Amino acid sequence: MTVLWLLIISYLLGSIPTALIVGKLGYGVDIRTVGSGNLGGTNTFRSLGLTAGLIVTVIDVLKGTAAAALPYTMNVDLHPMLAGLPAVIGHCFPIFAGFRGGKAVATSAGVLLLVSPLCFAIAAVGFFSTLYLSKYVSLASILAVIFAHTYAIFFGDKILSIVTFALVVFILWLHRANIERIVNGSERKITWM
């Protein structure tokens, strides 16, 4: 029963719609009605600016970190990657925002930050290198999780490898429209890097 409660709490943590809260309280804007309508850091950066984007991204990362830490704080024998997974799902399908959320990247990064800081660092380097070279946030996000999974295969434990593989599949699925736009040349590029 304790494991079940942990998973529920993890999902609820992930479901906190940071972008929606920051947009409404700080800017009087429902982020779902501007830009891509996505409740993630990228849409917040583009629609509300640097400060709002940073706040949303940092909190979304910390949601994953907090969820992954639940086995330690609740004294439950569960791998922190498994504890963090419901938070990732909650971020994408938040009960507090009509099950319409972000695209899993920041919250997944937060889980990795706690479980394997080196894996997180490799994913971050992959993300920013790809972003610098391609100017596509979506492509950088996809390759970052692939880098994390590659690290997990060679240096992580079995559960880290399995969960990062699940994240690769999940993030590819969530970015399927972005992939299509990259292929046809209509995906939006960043201009600040």
- Cα separation of the two ends of the chain: 48
pLDDT at residue number 101: 95
Model pLDDT for residues 32-84, shown as the tens digit of each residue: 999 999 999 999 999 999 999 999 999 999 999 999 999 999 999 999 999 99
Residue 189 covered by a domain: no
Give the separation between CA 24 and CA 22, rounded to whole angstroms: 6
Element (H, E) at 70: helix 70-73
Domain that holds residue 83: 2-184
Q: Residue 98: CB partners within 8 Å, gap ≥ 6?
A: none
Residue 190 covered by a domain: no
Longest dimension (CA), the chain: 50
Residue 12 covered by a domain: yes
Residue 58 covered by a domain: yes
Give the mean pLDDT of the chain.
96
pLDDT at 193 over 80: no
Model pLDDT for residues 3-37, shown as the tens digit of each residue: 999 999 999 999 999 999 999 999 999 999 999 99
Residue % of the chain over a pLDDT of 90: 96
Q: Is 75 exposed, middle or buried (0-12, 13-18, 19+ CB in 10 A)?
A: exposed
pTM for this prediction: 0.94
For residue 21 the two structure tokens come to: 């809260």
pLDDT at 177 over 90: yes
Residue 191 covered by a domain: no
Residue 193 covered by a domain: no
pLDDT at residue number 46: 92
Q: Once rounded to an integer, what is the mean pLDDT over residues 80-103? A: 97
Q: Domain total for the chain?
A: 1
pLDDT at residue number 1: 73
Residue 147 covered by a domain: yes
pLDDT at residue number 140: 97
Residue 35 covered by a domain: yes
pLDDT at 107 over 80: yes
Contact 144, 170 (CB under 8 A): no
CB under 8 A, 24+ apart: contacts of 75-80: 76/2, 76/3, 76/6, 78/3, 78/6, 79/159, 80/111, 80/114, 80/115
